[in-house]
Structure 1
């Protein structure tokens, strides 16, 4: 730990999907623990706000993770201007809910393009540089849906399962060169993506909608949340901070569920 007590001081981190939700929470947590952060997103508003709030500690950049050339260019530019990349966190993701019968080819392809291909592009660009230096940490934010079937979420679940196994395979390949690769798999988390799944009427409160998630749904074979609360994005961010820190120096190829027990670790 540094003299200031900030365990990530001096480290440079790249976070995708940092404009809101879990990505924003991850970027904030990394800064709070001393890291300098390159916060990227398709939408400039969220990361721009973060940069204004953390001058000198956070840099905002536009990034489309589905564009491999753009990812490679941004990582190269970041290393040239800000220094070696120590941490990469894949958070960017999309969810298009549909039954398999109604699932379009376009929705399937778009989901994989962000949730799986984007993880490949960012992780590959980061790993190529980290391995040469003999150190680094890559974390992919996946989902507990990657391990438990979910009705209406086949594309999302399949893409997240792909991201988890890709990250583990990468971790195996680069372990001997000092780079650790892990995943964090959240359950229901209070984000815009979660809210978009709710079917609550305009008159129903967010708390009531959340309570339905906590209670579970027998009709869709979905368990509730044993801990009795929906996660806050900060809960996921703290798990990420742990995995990229030296406290987790002997952990790689691990999938850390942060879901309040919702999957019963099935």
Structure 2
């Protein structure tokens, strides 16, 4: 059965309290995977974990900021010692602070890279150390199609996602000899809190689908906003044996919005 080989494995998912991360946690848990969700939003995380536990699913939650390397190391060591060996890592945690470069603050720039880039480094480094000793594992980083094309108002976000994308490819190259695969799933506009925060008025979805020529942004050829489940499906492919000869790949899941760049 598809994904049967994943049942009982331990997966660590960052950004697991909402949006794509929450959808990943739910989907993995329903496949019989033991899921550990990490997020800095304590209340949202606990509510999500409790809801899944009430369905009889094995899910754990840890509050942490992925930019805090020592906190991540402590959590990973606890998981390895008390829950089980981490065989799957999904880096989803991300922040978005839009703004023009000329007026962008140092604080927003630093925070964007601290979470979107350094966070991926911190968690991947900590988890991969354990994976190497076992000669197996799969790491998936949720990037963005914004890493492939310039975006007005999104310089920090796009640059930080580009950094996370290249980091994951370099990680995949280093870990290939240890039978550990590292891939990227790059969503476009997806129906999450992050996407909605960019919309103005009641026509946000239509504007995204149609495109905005004045800011050089094309629309979505498939004429629809992605659902979190669309992103999850791509992630599931990368963690399964169906992709056991794929590493350092960057899969765009954006309805054609970046024209296959």
Smaller-chain TM-score range? Answer: over 0.9
**2:253 corresponding residue in structure 1:** 258
Q: SS state of the match for residue 227, structure 1?
A: coil
Q: Which runs of 5+ in 2 are unaligned?
A: none
**1:35 corresponding residue in structure 2:** 33
Query: Hey, what's the Cα distance between the residues in 2 that align with 1:209 and 1:199?
Result: 6
**1:103 corresponding residue in structure 2:** 104
Residue deviations 1:170-220 (CA, integer Å, cap 9, x gap): 0000001010000100000011111111111xxx3xxx3201110001001
- Equivalent residue for 2:211, pick from 216, 223, 231: 216
Query: Hey, what's the Cα distance between the residues in 1 that align with 2:211 and 2:44?
Result: 32
Residue deviations 1:18-51 (CA, integer Å, cap 9, x gap): 1000000111111122211001110122221232
TM-score (norm 2): 0.96
Query: Hey, what's the Cα distance between the residues in 1 that align with 2:18 and 2:187?
Result: 16
Residue deviations 1:149-185 (CA, integer Å, cap 9, x gap): 1001000000000000000000000001010000100
**2:234 corresponding residue in structure 1:** 239
Query: Hey, what's the Cα distance between the residues in 1 that align with 2:211 and 2:256?
Result: 12
Q: SS state of the match for residue 37, structure 1?
A: strand
* Structure 1 segments (4+ residues) deviating >6 Å: none
User: How far did residue 106 of structure 1 move?
Assistant: 1.2
- Equivalent residue for 1:6, pick from 4, 7, 13: 4
**1:126 corresponding residue in structure 2:** 127
RMSD: 1.2
2:92 paired with 1:91: yes
**2:181 corresponding residue in structure 1:** 180
User: How far did residue 103 of structure 1 move?
Assistant: 1.1
Is the contact between residue 171 and residue 180 of structure 1 (CA under 8 Å) also seen in structure 2?
A: yes
Q: SS state of the match for residue 86, structure 2?
A: coil
User: How far did residue 86 of structure 1 move?
Assistant: 0.5
Residue deviations 1:113-149 (CA, integer Å, cap 9, x gap): 0000000000000110001100001111010000111
Q: Which runs of 5+ in 1 are unaligned?
A: none
* Aligned residue-pair number: 258
**2:146 corresponding residue in structure 1:** 145
Is the contact between residue 29 and residue 238 of structure 1 (CA under 8 Å) also seen in structure 2?
A: no
TM-score (norm 1): 0.94
2:23 paired with 1:25: yes
